[in-house]
A and B are shown apart, each in its own frame.
Chain A
């Protein structure tokens, strides 16, 4: 297992364009999380899935953001009509939740720059 993979590593897009990021979690992990991290800040929670069900969405996740995990494996995060304020590192993490909390394994992130 190679850990949590995110693709692409970097994305530069023009304002108003749509972008989609992909996350492949550790295969036996049942939970998948998306976080956003801006410069000089800690990661902020966006949403998480347990298997294919999206169980919680942060108020940070505006209507322009949508996340899916169709088969309970990989996940995608789409941002429509990007704005400059969307520029950030988007981090994906996964965890195995079995009777406790064992911490998350993070991917290397996708850095989005909106110009």
Chain B
């Protein structure tokens, strides 16, 4: 079965600084990869997804992620964060419509 490890439980960063949220996955088959964002007391919102093709995927709100098959990673990046990016971010892996989530990374953007 596939699984996801998010390497940082919390990432504090100053406004306008770049950020990288790390995600590694484990699977014996080809999978699809996703990043979701969750604001307090809300459901999950899809940021971006990798299904196939270009390994650099661009999503909403200026986020992007790069799929690295050899390192089994799918790290999320943003060149300049805003206060409004403060939220919980979840990496997810899916195979045959079975989606599994990491434990999440709490991104806190400080002024």
Which chain B residue shows the least CB distance to A97? Answer: B97
Q: Give the segment of B14-22, B38-46, B61-69, B74-82 that binds chain A.
A: B38-46
B44 touching A100 by the CB < 8 A rule? no
CB distance from B76 to the nearest CB of A (A): 14
A41 touching B43 by the CB < 8 A rule? no
Which residues does chain B contribute within 8 Å of A95, judged by CB atoms?
A: 97
- The B interface is mostly helix, strand or loop, or mixed, namely strand
Kindly identify, within residues 39 to 57 of chain A, every residue whose CB is under 8 Å from any CB belonging to chain B.
Answer: 40-45, 48, 56
CB distance from B51 to the nearest CB of A (A): 7
Knowing A41-B104, A111-B41, the reply to whether A31 touches B46 (Cβ < 8 A) is: no
Task: Report the count of interface residues on B (CB-CB < 8 A).
Answer: 23
Which residues does chain B contribute within 8 Å of A43, judged by CB atoms?
A: 44, 90, 101
Identify A40's interface contact among B36, B46, B99, B103, CB under 8 A.
B103
Whole-angstrom distance between the alpha carbons of A58 and B101 in the complex?
14
Whole-angstrom distance between the alpha carbons of A56 and B97 in the complex?
11
B44 touching A45 by the CB < 8 A rule? no
B44 touching A101 by the CB < 8 A rule? no
CB distance from B90 to the nearest CB of A (A): 5
Which chain A residue shows the least CB distance to B106? Answer: A40
Whole-angstrom distance between the alpha carbons of A4 and B46 in the complex?
13
Whole-angstrom distance between the alpha carbons of A31 and B100 in the complex?
16
Identify A101's interface contact among B4, B41, B43, B51, CB under 8 A.
B51
Q: Which of B43, B90, B92 has the most CB of A within 10 A?
A: B43
Whole-angstrom distance between the alpha carbons of A60 and B36 in the complex?
23
Q: Which of A6, A40, A44, A104 has the most CB of B within 10 A?
A: A104
B102 touching A103 by the CB < 8 A rule? no
Knowing A40-B103, A42-B104, A101-B32, the reply to whether A108 touches B42 (Cβ < 8 A) is: yes
A residues at B contact (CB < 8 Å) = 4, 6, 31, 33, 40-45, 48, 56, 91, 93, 95, 97, 100-109, 111
